[in-house]
Amino acid sequence: MKNSRRSAVDPFIVMDVVQSAAEAEAAGRRIIHMEVGQPGTRAPALARSAVAAALDAQPLGYTVTLGLPVLRRSIAQLYARWYGITLDPARVVVTTGSSGAFLLAFSALFDTGARVGVCEPGYPSYRHILKALGLSAVGVPTHAAAGHRLRPSDLPDGLEGLILASPNNPTGTIHDRAELAALIARCSEAGTAFVSDEIYHGLHYGDRAVSALEISDDVYVINSFSKYFSMTGWRVGWMVVPPDQVRVIERLAQNMFVCAPHVSQVAALAALDAADELEQNRAHYAENRRLMLEGLPKAGFARLAPPDGAFYCYADVSDLTDDSRALASRMLAEAGVAVTPGLDFDPVRGSQTLRFSYAATTADIQEGLARLADFMRRWQGTRAAG
């Protein structure tokens, strides 16, 4: 059977690493997971309790396509609390994770062949989803010397769209208000649709991240309950779109997804009231971040910039290797530590970078750093002897 050209997307390498780690665990090994952005914290207690009650009280069938009205209102209220924005709940669309939101946004905004800018390094699924939809992902390189911040002058002409994550995955870079406003203005002048990926909002270690909605209403904003709310497996997110785009998105979502999972929407609604627990989680990540910034250089990974947000450290390992995938494989095989090669995030320069996630438990981070230090001593000793 012949496959479509759209199906010829590259693998999501981090999920390949997850599979290899799972196989090692099935063989009886204990693996420290620094590869995936999987919170080590559970869904908030309020969310779990709400689901338990709902399972006995209602059938949890289809909801309206745009999401439970009470959840959409509560998400709008979140924007008032976090950003001081008055947001019409009618503009909020509940989605099947942020992945569902990307599919809807790209389908609504771009025709076949459209050129859409993506940061490199950046989240790999942007490229892969765009390709699967018959669109062209245009890599826009950022650089460590500039803190991996994207500037208007970096954008090539002829883009029909730009997707920007702040905080960024994998670098943790946050664009401040002036930087974000300048990019949105450049896109507006050029007729370029601006899509803001804000799924790591809430996970910051200095100034909070700025929402694109604080600057303009003529943007698409995508968020999720996966990261800050510790609900990755629940597959529930949301998007905020301009008023004239709501029905466009609704029609697409009706046919592509029907609705987001009802049970996950119940959990999400309760999670929005779990501020105290969620802020304790953020303090947990802050401690893990401190340990990583102290321990990675001691282990031999000295070329990294402190992340502003999210829960990743992105390391330049060009002094160690030009094959980050092979190095990551050896770390898993010999140290039992799973990390992600940078090729996932930057197909041009990623062979010389690694991403370390610190979303796991603090105990696992401490053990992982010790294992990495021991591995690097042995590995560099072998290199010197050879």
Confidence (pLDDT) at 384 = 62
- Whether 66 is covered by a domain: the verdict is yes
Indicate whether 11 pLDDT > 80.
no
Q: How many structural domains are present in the chain? A: 2
- Token pair of 145 as six digits: 């010397």
pLDDT for the residue 385: 62
pLDDT band at residue 379 using 50, 70 and 90 as cut-offs = confident
**CATH number, position 36:** 3.40.640.10
Domain that holds residue 32: 5-42+276-377
pLDDT in tens, 334-355: 999 999 999 889 999 999 999 9
Token pair 């399972």 is at which residue?
55
* Residue 65 binned pLDDT confidence (cut-offs 50, 70, 90): very high
In the DSSP assignment, the letter for residue 176 is: -
Looking at the structure, do residues 234 and 337 belong to the same domain, yes or no? no
Answer whether residue 300 is part of any domain: yes
DSSP annotation of 55 reads H
* pLDDT for the residue 386: 58
What are 236-257's pLDDT values in tens digits? 999 999 999 999 999 999 999 9
Q: Which of 273, 302, 336 is the last residue of a domain?
A: 273
The Cα-based distances of 136 to 64, 90, 110, 131, 320 in angstroms read: 33, 31, 10, 6, 33
At 114-166, the pLDDT tens digits run 999 999 999 999 999 999 999 999 999 999 999 999 999 999 999 999 999 99
End-to-end, the C-alpha distance of the chain in Å comes to 48
Strands 237-240 and 220-224: antiparallel
CB-CB contact of 169 with 344 (8 Å): no
**Do residues 324 and 301 lie in contact, with contact meaning Cβ atoms separated by under 8 Å?**
no
Q: How confident is the model at residue 286 (pLDDT cuts 50, 70, 90)?
A: very high
**Quick one: pLDDT band at residue 51, thresholds 50, 70, 90?**
very high
- Asked if 93 and 243 touch (Cβ cutoff 8 Å), the reply is no
pLDDT digits (tens, 9 = 90+) for 305-333: 899 999 999 999 999 999 999 999 999 99
Q: Please give the Cα distance from 298 to 86 (Å, whole number).
A: 47
Q: Mean pLDDT check: name the lowest of 4-18, 164-178, 329-343.
A: 4-18
Last residue of a domain, one of 225, 242, 273: 273
Q: Write down the pLDDT at residue 8.
A: 75
**What's the mean per-residue pLDDT of the chain?**
94
Domain boundary among the residues 273, 289, 308 is at 273
Of the candidate ranges 23-32, 88-97, 263-272, 290-299, the one whose mean pLDDT is the lowest: 23-32
DSSP letter at 358 equals -
Q: Are residues 86 and 217 in the same domain?
A: yes
Beta bridge partners of 137: 116
Residue linked to tokens 């960024």? 168
